[in-house]
Structure 1
Amino acid sequence: MAELPLVPITLEGSSVLHQMFRFDWSGWRKLSAGERAEIGAEFAALLSSWEQGASEGHPNQSAIFSQLGHKGDLMLMHFRDSFADLNRAELALAQTRLFAYLQPAHSYLSVVELGLYESSAKTYAALAEQGFEPGTPEWAAQVKEQAARQGGAMAPRLFPAIPPAQYVCFYPMDRKRSETVNWYTESMDDRRRMMHEHGMIGRRYADVVRQIITGSIGFDDWEWGVDLFADDPVVFKKLIYEMRFDKVSAEYALFGQFFVGVRLHAAKLGTWLEGTLE
């Protein structure tokens, strides 16, 4: 019997695109008040339809955030059923007149991902006991069937609505693959145990922060993206700081840039475009 796989089963859901833009305030101010109002209303109408959008029970939504700091002015977050749908959203955005004043600063492509560390080892062991050989088509079919069954039960987490919280914190991350510390050479059992301990920290903040993890291996420059949503941004600091002391983060994690924004609904976009926020 071949060795059991080291790769945990993952479930994939919504396709996700983050777009960060700088706004051309100088060019915008050259327009008349009437032109600004007309262009802003056109964009707000598109954004409003995206805020409410849904298809086949999956929230196909977009949200916009006013970014803090020098990394950009606006962040658009799109949740769709496929990469093709994300591309259509990009193209629809590019056709608006406001797009002429949006200067791309960054983007991130990923899919909502749930890693089944807790159940993968049990699934693999059960299949081996039933006589299925790892790496065979029969084995793959059984794993796919198990994943589909669990995916149905976890649909609300795989295809989430964008939380209505006032603040968002987004950042990408990797697991280390250095000569001395390599997450991918640890045993399945050790990784499962560490991820369980890591997850317990997040659960303690479940009442005040919503977390959505997306996988980006093969799609973007980092391995995962993390979105945190809360009504108090200080919670981001407390949660991430506490996780720094957890072994998964302390020994195996690398982090990219952090992007923080304030939720900006379509109905309030006009006030932002005039340089004010209520």
Structure 2
Amino acid sequence: MPELPQVPLTLEGSNVLHQIFRFDWTAWKELPLDERTAISEEFSGLLARWEGGNTEPNGHPNQSALFSQIGHKGDLILIHFRDSLEDLNRVELELAQTRLYPFLQQTSSYLSVVELGLYESSEKIYAQLAEKGLEPGTPEWNAGAGEATARTFASLSSRLFPAIPPAKYLCFYPMDRKRGEQVNWYTEPMADRRAMMHEHGLIGRRYADHVRQIITGSIGLDDWEWGVDLFADDPIVFKKLIYEMRFDKVSAVYASFGQFFLSVRVHASNVNQWFDGTLA
């Protein structure tokens, strides 16, 4: 048999953009009250449309959500889930045309795509293709791998194109797998990586009733390799889940983490209260 690929197969779904803003409160408070009201109502209507999403023509939610950020790293986070990069770009441009936009100072953004890694099935698929006499990297091999994953893609549509969870709190952070000096995730055999990811996933499943996790891949799209969004109604769950995961091998040995962003959901129905400082 030929040497089998060490890259696990992945499935990709929604394209995701995180936008992080500071809000120019000084300039905002200088506006007359009626002008502030008109601007906030205009944005509230836009956000309501984004929250509702657009399920045509394929049934994907294609939603956006607004969060009020806690701490010094920013004031607002907008998250957009769309079917294409072009759709995300249209969202950016639509926001830029609003009267609110001059008060939004974007400090960071993160571009990624919902990703499901098929560690559990990749080795099996590769072995089956090799047994048929197919060579890795050939059109026949690629077609066979595509056929083998097509059924999985259809069955996981709700995870690949998710609705934004209604939870109150969001924890977002980017991360890498280490690939330097003493350890390198990408030189470990696939079987070892699969076993470590299985252990890692078991921890997440124990918290499934309390937190919703959406993993997005960003290799070649942004500065880190993955983005992680955690949604929960109790923010202490974030601490407990991430702390427990630090003790498994994937995180303890191979993970590097970026900044953590913690925020509270702001719905279109009460976004006006955020702008006038009365949000409860």
Q: TM-score, normalised by structure 1?
A: 0.99
Match of 2:43 in 1: 43
Structure 1 range deviating more: 145-154 or 107-116: 145-154
Q: What letter is aligned with 2:10?
A: T
Q: What residue number does 2:11 align with? A: 11
Q: How far did residue 47 of structure 1 move?
A: 0.4
Offset of residue 68 of structure 1 = 0.2
Alignment correspondent of 1:250: 252
**What is the distance in 2 between the residues matched to 1:254 and 1:179?**
13
Which AA in structure 2 matches 1:130?
K
Gaps of 5+ in 2: none
Distance 2:54 2:243 in 1: 35
Counterparts of 2:53 and 2:255, CA distance in 1: 35
| Correspondence for 2:198 among 196, 199, 217 | 196
For residues 147 and 80 of structure 1, the distance between their equivalents in structure 2, rounded to whole angstroms, comes to: 22
The alpha-carbon deviation at position 150 of structure 1 amounts to 1.0
1:179, distance to aligned residue in structure 2 (A): 2.6
Q: What is the root-mean-square deviation of aligned Cα atoms in Å?
A: 0.7
Runs ≥4 residues deviating over 3 A: none
Displacement of 1:123 in angstroms is 0.5
Over the matched positions of the two proteins, sequence identity in percent amounts to: 71
Aligned length: 278
Residue among 61, 64, 78 paired with 1:62: 64
Which one-letter code corresponds to 2:277 in the other structure? Answer: G
Structure 1 residue 19, shift from structure 2 partner: 0.2
2:16/2:80 contact within 8 Å kept = yes
The residue identity in structure 2 corresponding to 1:47 is L
SS at match of 1:248: helix
- The alpha-carbon deviation at position 96 of structure 1 amounts to 0.4
For 1:208 and 1:184, how far apart are their aligned partners in 2?
32
What is the aligned partner in structure 1 of residue 185 from structure 2? 183
What is the Cα deviation at residue 54 of structure 1?
Answer: 2.1
Find 1:83's aligned residue among 76, 82, 85.
85
Give the letter aligned to residue 277 of structure 1.
L
How far apart, CA to CA, are the structure 2 residues paired with 1:191 and 1:28?
51
Q: Give the distance between the partners of 1:144 and 1:263, measured in 2 at CA.
A: 38
Is it true that 1:129 corresponds to 2:131 in the alignment? yes
**Offset at 1:2?**
2.4
| CA distance in structure 2 between the aligned counterparts of 1:12 and 1:41, rounded to whole angstroms | 36
Q: In 1, distance between residues paired with 2:35 and 2:54?
A: 31
Q: Deviations over 1:54-77 (max 9, x none)?
A: 232001100000000000000000
- 1:78-227 matches, cutoff 5 A: 78-227=80-229
Instruction: Tell me the secondary structure at the aligned position of residue 100 of structure 2.
Output: helix
Question: Does structure 1 conserve the Cα–Cα contact (< 8 Å) formed by 2:4 and 2:127?
Answer: yes
Amino acid at match of 2:92: E
**Aligned-partner Cα distance in 1 for 2:149–2:218:** 19
* 1:32 aligned residue: 32
Query: What one-letter code is carried by the residue in structure 1 that aligns with 2:121?
Result: S
> Structure 2: which amino acid aligns with 1:32?
P
Question: Does 2:241 match 1:272?
Answer: no
Partner of 1:97, secondary structure, is coil
Deviations 1:145-189 (A, max 9, x none): 122221111000000000000000000000000131000000000
SS at the partner of 1:240?
A: helix
For structure 1, which segment, 206-215 or 127-136, has the greater mean C-alpha deviation from structure 2 after superposition?
Answer: 127-136
The code of the aligned residue for 2:275 comes to L
Displacement of 1:91 after TM fit? Answer: 0.3
Q: Distance in 2 between matches of 1:156 and 1:202?
A: 18
Maintained 8 Å contact 2:2/2:130: no
Cα distance between partner residues in 2 of 1:276 and 1:221: 36
Aligned counterparts of 1:30 and 1:135: Cα–Cα separation in 2:
62
- Partner AA of 1:100 in structure 2: P
TM-score, normalised via structure 2 length = 0.98
- Unpaired segments of 5 or more residues in structure 1? none
